[in-house]
Amino acid sequence: MDLSPPDATTDATAAQALLICEHCDTVHRRCPLAKGEVAECARCGAVLERCRGLGANTLLALILTALLVFAQATLWPIVTLGLNGQHVDATLWDVIHTMWTDHSQVVAVLAALTLFVFPLCKIFMLGWLLLYARSGRRAPGFRLLMVTLHRLGPWTMSEVFVLGALVSIVKAHLYFDVQPDPGIYAYAALMLLITIFAGVDLTRLWDETREEAP
């Protein structure tokens, strides 16, 4: 759904009903969106916002589910390798530790950040914001957390890890007896949840919540 730029008569009292394109700075009037509709910039076609079909309570439930799945993904073995009757399973931290001791410290740190630290921070920050958003309030540190979530978006790479792990399992099967373990399935479930969160327009929290009186 395209939105036309507002007329010059738009006054300051309607500021909260305006959308500004982050790509070309064109100002638009915000219109109610039906389920599945997308607001696009009239000048450059960039997506301004999407209809958020999920309420704060539903999103909070998904956050709790993601936290449980995340714990399972990081604690359960990802894969079991078998050779000459011997079997060895490996968790995420076993893989990271192996990379560290194999003189691949940079890769190990990046893996720890993108597969553990950043996703966990995102889950906790979203949960904190939504816990207050249920009652229409802004959580303490709202502005900083919203900016941080925007910055963290490209750095949660669980889907890349799952795809890479599946490719590695297929290739390793030529040399070892390879069996996927519950950890890889938990990461696949986490990937789906992160995909759902990525499709939610969290910028609406700016309009749907209010500052607490000092």
* pLDDT tens for each residue of 205-214: 777 777 765 5
Residues 81 and 87 sit within 8 Å (Cβ to Cβ): yes
DSSP secondary structure code for residue 34 in this structure: -
3-class DSSP state of 137: strand
3-class DSSP state of 186: helix
Q: Which position has the higher pLDDT, 153 or 94?
A: 94
**Tally: H helices and E strands in the chain:** 8, 8
Residues in contact with 118: Cβ distance below 8 Å, sequence separation at least 6, in sequence order: 152, 155, 156
Q: Which of 45-59, 153-167, 192-206 has the lowest mean pLDDT?
A: 153-167
Which ranges in 38-104 belong to alpha helices (H)? 56-75, 92-101
Q: Which position has the higher pLDDT, 5 or 69?
A: 69
